[in-house]
Amino acid sequence: MTAPPPVAPLGRLLAAQTLAELVIRMRFPAFSVTTLALPVLLFTFFGLPLVGHTTAGGADLGTVLLTSFAAYAVGQVMVFGFGIGVAIERGHKVDVLVRATPMPPGVYLAAKVLVGMLFALLALVILFAYAAAVGGIRLPAAVLADVVVRLLVGSLPLVALGFAIGYTAGPNAAPAIANLVYLPLAFASGIFLPLEQLPPFVQRLAPYLPTYHYAQLAWNAIGAGREPPAVSLAWLGGYAVVFLWLAAHAYRGEEERKFR
Amino acid sequence: MTAVVELEGVRKRYGEIDALAGVSLAIQRGEIVAMLGPNGAGKTTAISVMLGLRRPTAGRVRLFGLDPTDRRARSRCGAMLQESGVPPVLSVREVITLFRAYYPAPLPADRVIALAGLEDRAPARVGTLSGGQRQRLYFALALCGDPEVLFLDEPTVGMDVEARRTFLDAVRALAADGRTIVLTTHYLEEADALARRIVVIDHGVVIADAPPREIKARIPSKRVHFDTVAALDGAVLEGLPVTAVERSGSQVRLLTAEPEAVLRELFRRGVPIADLEVAGADLEEAFLTLTARPGRPP
C-alpha cells in the first residue's frame, strides 16, 4: 500500500475552482445576463440599422459596429467580472477561509482569469451568431478568429483594471464604480458612435484612452483601424503596466490588513 | 516525533498592541487542546499564526514541522474560522465538492455532510442557511480534507444549547479517531467538556497550561451573591477561599472556585444570608482577578 500523495495536483484544484467560479457567475444574473445580452442589445440598436452603409474608408459600418460591440463585450466581462466579482467576494470574506486551505492564491486567481476568458468567448459567440443570423454579417472564419484572439490578448489592461477596482472598492460601490469607469471610457473611444460624431474635445481625448486602442486593435483586423496593431499593443501594454501596478498595490494593501 | 503545532517565543504586534506577547506552546498528535480566554486575549491571533494566516512579528511557528503556509502542512489541516465566508450562490454540496478538491485524500462528500448533520440541507444554497446551519457548513468544510488536526475558532458561537451539544459530540467522535483538536472558546464549561488540556491566554500570554481539573481549581468560576444585613462587619468575610469580595449596601458578591466551601464557612460563621444565588462567573470577570494577582505582567 502506498501513502497518499502529500498534496492535491494543481490541475485538479484549477479545474474544480474554475467550475465553481463558472457556476457562481452564471447564478449572478446581474453579471451573466448583462455581459451576455447587453452587447447583443446594443448592437441591435446601434449596429443593425447601419448594415450596408460604408465608412469613408470603404468598410461596412455594420461590421465595424459589430467589432466595436465585440470589444465592448470582452471589456465588460473583464472590468465588471473582476471588479464586481472580487469586491463581492471580499465582502463575503471568502478569501480568508480559502487561504487556510492548501489552495495556492495563484491558482485561485488563475481560475478567475480562465473563467473571464470563457465568459468573454461565450459573449463573442452569441454576438457573432446573432449578427450573422439577424444582420447577415458573415465574416470569414480567419478574420473572426483574428478578432477574437486580438480581443482576448488585448484585454490584459482591462483585466488589471477590473482587479484594481475589485480590490479597492467595497461590494456595494463596485458596480457603480465599474459603470462610471467603463461606460464613459467605451463611449469616448468611439465604441457606441463613430469617433467623427463625438464632441471635438472627446475626439482629441480618445487617442489617450485604453479602450480606444483596444477598439483600434479589433477594427484593424477588419481593415477599419486608424493605427497599426503594434501601436495599439504598445498603448495597451503601457496601460496594462499601470493598471497591474494599481491592482497589485490594492492587493498588497488587502494582504497587509488581513494576512500580516 | 515532531509536534503537530509548535510555537516558540511567538510575538504578534498590531500597531501598538501585542496581540501575542511571547507564546511558546507545543501540541502533540492526538491532543485535544482548548485555548481559553476572554475576548481580545489573543486566541484568534494564536490560531491564525498556527495556520499561517498571520505572520508572527517574532518567534517561530511550525505545523507538522513545516512552515504553516506550506501546502503539505495545510493539506493535513482543517479550519473553522470566525471571520470568513463562502459564496452564497453555491449549494452546500457544491461548496463541499469544491473544498474536497483542495485536498489530496478527501473524505467522501456524503460522509462530510453526515458528520456535519447537513443531510437535509445538502441541495440548499449557502445563502439560505440559518446561522446554526452555516456554522455546521463551516465544520463540514473543515472536515473535507480528512484532517489530522482540526482548528476550531469559537466554533459554537451562535449555536443553541441543543446544537452545541450535538456539535461537541461530533468533535469528541473525531478526537476518538486520533485527530488532534485545537479549539478556542471563552466558555470554561465547553473547554472542560471537551479538552484534556486547557491553555489559558490573556493579554497575549499563556497564564496557565494544565488539565481542566487544575485550571478549574485556579479560576474563580462561580459567583456567590446574597443579601445580608447592611451593618455586617467586613471582618466576617475575611479569610474565605475567594478571589474577590464586593459589597454595596446589604448586597455581597463573592468570586470563587469553591462555592461549596465558601457557603459552608459562611453558615459556620453565622452570617445572615437571604436571596442566595450561585452562578457561573463571567469569564472576563474571573480573568480580571487572575491577571490582577501581583507578579503578573500587565
Whether ipTM tops 0.95, in short, is no
Whether residue A97 and residue B138 make contact (CB cut-off 8 A), yes or no, is: yes
B283 vs B287: CA distance, rounded Å: 6
CA distance B272 to chain A (A): 56
Q: Chain B residues with CB inside 8 Å of A108's CB? A: none
Q: How many helices (DSSP H) and strands (DSSP E) are in chain B?
A: 10, 13
**Span B288-298, mean pLDDT?**
49
CA distance A245 to chain B (A): 24
- What is B5-217's CATH number? 3.40.50.300
What are the residues whose beta carbons fall under 8 Å from the beta carbon of B264, sequence distance 6 or more? none
Identify the DSSP state of B73: H
Give the tens place of pLDDT for each residue, B41-89. Answer: 889 999 999 999 999 999 999 999 999 999 999 999 999 998 788 889 9
Runs of H (alpha helix) within B102-160: 109-115, 131-143
The domain tally of chain A equals: 1
Instruction: Give chain A's radius of gyration (CA, Å).
Output: 20
Residue A57 belongs to what domain range?
10-255
Sign of CA dihedral B250, B251, B256, B262: positive
Tell me the pLDDT band of B285, cut-offs 50, 70 and 90.
low
B289 vs A236: CA distance, rounded Å: 65
Residues of A with CB under 8 A from a CB of B: 4-8, 12-13, 15-17, 19-20, 23-24, 27-28, 89, 92-94, 96-97, 99-104, 258-260
Give the tens place of pLDDT for each residue, B110-124. Answer: 999 999 999 999 999
* Residue ranges covered by each domain of chain B: 5-217, 222-280
Residues pairing with B152 in the sheet: B80, B183
A118 vs A112: CA distance, rounded Å: 10
The CATH topology of domain B222-280 is Alpha-Beta Plaits (3.30.70)
Domain assignment of residue A230, yes or no: yes
Runs of H (alpha helix) within A93-104: 94-99
Domain assignment of residue A5, yes or no: no
Q: Chain A residues with CB inside 8 Å of B97's CB? A: 16
Identify the DSSP state of B154: S
C-alpha cell, B172:
469528541
Residues of B with CB under 8 A from a CB of A: 51, 53-55, 71-72, 74-75, 77, 79, 81, 83-90, 94-95, 97-99, 101-105, 138, 141, 145, 151
Indicate the helix (H) or strand (E) that contains B165.
helix B161-176
User: C-alpha distances in angstroms, B180 versus A204, B4, B188, B201?
Assistant: 67, 8, 20, 20
Query: Pick the residue with more confidence: B233 or A186?
Result: A186
Whether residue B72 and residue A7 make contact (CB cut-off 8 A), yes or no, is: yes
Strand order in the sheet with B58-63: B17-27, B5-14, B58-63
For A88, the closest chain B residue by CA position comes to: B87
Give the tens place of pLDDT for each residue, A185-199. Answer: 999 999 988 888 889
Query: Pick the residue with more confidence: A246 or B166?
Result: A246
CA angle at B55 for the pair B54 and B58, rounded to the nearest 5°: 135
Using CB atoms, which residue from A20, A89, A104 is nearest to B71?
A104
CA distance B167 to chain A (A): 20
pLDDT score of A226: 87
B153 within 8 A of B80, measured Cβ to Cβ: yes
pLDDT score of B287: 65
A224 vs A201: CA distance, rounded Å: 22
Q: What is the DSSP string of B219-280?
A: S--EEEEEE--TT--GGGGTT-S-SEEEEETTEEEEEES-HHHHHHHHHHTT---EEEEEEE
A165 within 8 A of A87, measured Cβ to Cβ: yes
B5-217 matches B222-280 in fold: no
End-to-end CA distance of chain A: 41
Residue B125 dihedral angles phi and psi, to the nearest 5°: -70, 145
pLDDT at residue B156 greater than cutoff 90: no
B191 within 8 A of B36, measured Cβ to Cβ: yes
Please list the ranges in chain A whose pLDDT falls under 70.
1-4
Whether residue B98 and residue A97 make contact (CB cut-off 8 A), yes or no, is: no
B159 within 8 A of B132, measured Cβ to Cβ: yes
pLDDT score of B145: 94
pLDDT score of B298: 36
